[in-house]
Chains A and B, each alone.
Chain A
Amino acid sequence: MAQFRLQGSRVLAVDLTGDSVKAKNGAMVAYEGEMTFKKKTGGGEGLRGMVTRRLTGEQMAVMEVKGHGTCYFADRASEINLVSLHGEKLYVESSNLLCTDSALRTGASFTGLRGSAQGNGLFTTTVEGTGQAALVSAGTAIVLRVTPQTPLQVDPGAYLAHTGGLKQHFQTGVNFRALIGESGGESFQIRFEGDGLVYVQPSERNTIGGEL
């Protein structure tokens, strides 16, 4: 099992003992020991994952890093957040996924609405199994709990990832929008209902929703 450590908040150190991790292409900044790098297409498992990716454009350039030693990853000075998965499924924007333990299965999942948030079609990346993953965010991410009594609205541009049994759907804030005047992405929100966790970054991506 690869060991994930944070060196400061912007560098991820991964200790490998003959095992491997999948990482964003070009995110390696340094390594000690013996490492090999292999290009992977997609990041989804098997042909079906590939096909959905081909269709949706939810394309991730991924490399597999295997070896003995320590590999350091960073992505344009973005903050890095570690997520430990214990059998559950993490839904994440592919551009925010920095590195995953190879023991984790990655794929694409139909969400139907994330498209307007990212322009990535109607799919988002899923990471499932037991092991660690590292997400990059603009600014330090916060984790918000959603319970059946406390649903949550998130700006699509600030959404990073979520886990648990959550239903999501788009809603428009008409009053909100009239209030803002400048459509700064707040005219749409994603509403999460159910039981789970949502990761939010303190910054907004440019989204198609925000352009409307």
Chain B
Amino acid sequence: MPFTMLTSRMVEAQVLPGQTLFSQRGAMLAYRGDVRFTPSITGGQRGVRGMIGRRIADEDTPLMTVEGQGTVMFGHGGHHVQVIDLAGDTLYVESDRLLAFDGSLRQGTMFLGSQGGVMGMVRGQVTGQGLFTTTLEGHGSAAVMAHGGVLELPIGPGRPVHVDPQAYVAHRGDVRNKLSTAIGWREMVGRGSGEAFQLELSGTGMVYVQASEEKL
């Protein structure tokens, strides 16, 4: 697990020979040692299929490959950073929230519109995020950005969690998401257009919620 939090907004990564790290381009703040940064043309993705998926999904945040031996400090836009350690499970996160992640994690894109039927299709309009999201799977860590601090809420059988789509950051595990409306929620005059819906997450896993309704 290469990431160490320095402050709530800065993270330090250990880079070791033979291990690759991906980070958002321009997110490097400082480094020590012998470290090379190369723009990753394939968006960090291995294989053509992933690339096509990205092209269609518009889920391509420019990444760079970090290799060598040393320590690198990452931070971006003064956003809060949350380190998420994966142990074989899958993390679902918008690509522009990814600050840095282990090269050992398998990347993919997932079509979320298929979940929750027609309501799921609304997701893009509601959250301002696409109908596709990036997936990271395997053993390793990812540093994810959020506006304000991050709250981790466990999701269990019979214990679904409802999230304001504008405060949703990421989720992991075996989780179904659908857009729902709470009683009385529709007629509330909210701050944004997203207020009329809530993201209902059910299954087994964890959802990460930010302490703000602001976009990154």
Contacts and interface: CB of A to CB of B under 8 A. Distances in A.
Interface of A: 7-11, 25-26, 28-32, 35-39, 61, 63, 72, 74-77
Contacts of B209: 11, 29-30, 72
B191 A39 contact: no
Given A10-B149, A29-B212, A35-B162, 4 more contacts: A30-B151, A30-B153, A32-B153, A72-B209
A74 B148 contact: yes
A66 to B, nearest CB: 9
Contacts, number: 89
B214 A26 contact: no
11 contacts: A11-B209, A11-B211, A25-B188, A26-B164, A26-B188, A29-B167, A30-B162, A36-B184, A72-B209, A76-B214, A77-B148
A29 B214 CA distance: 11
Contact of A26 (B147, B184, B190): B190
Contact of A37 (B149, B184, B191): B184
B195 A31 contact: no
B189 A36 contact: no
B13 interface: no
A25 to B, nearest CB: 6
Contact of B148 (A26, A32, A72, A76): A76
Nearest to A37: B184
Contacts of B96: none
A25 B189 contact: yes
- For B153, B191, B211, the residue with the greatest tally of chain A CB atoms inside 10 Å of its CB is B211
Given A63-B188, A77-B211, A77-B214, A26 B195 contact: yes
A138 B207 CA distance: 26
Contact of B211 (A8, A37, A38, A61): A8
Q: 7 tightest A-B contacts by CB?
A: A77-B148, A10-B211, A29-B167, A74-B211, A26-B191, A77-B212, A26-B190
A8 B151 contact: yes
B111 interface: no
B147 A28 contact: no
A75 B212 CA distance: 5
B90 to A, nearest CB: 21
Contacts of B183: 36-37
B148 A10 contact: yes
Contacts of A72: 151, 153, 209
A31 B161 contact: yes
Given A30-B164, A31-B161, A32-B159, A39 B151 contact: no
A189 B20 CA distance: 57
B188 A29 contact: no
B77 interface: no
A74 B212 contact: yes
B213 A36 contact: no
B182 interface: yes
Contact of B167 (A7, A38, A74): A74
Interface in B175-216: 182-185, 187-192, 195, 207, 209-214
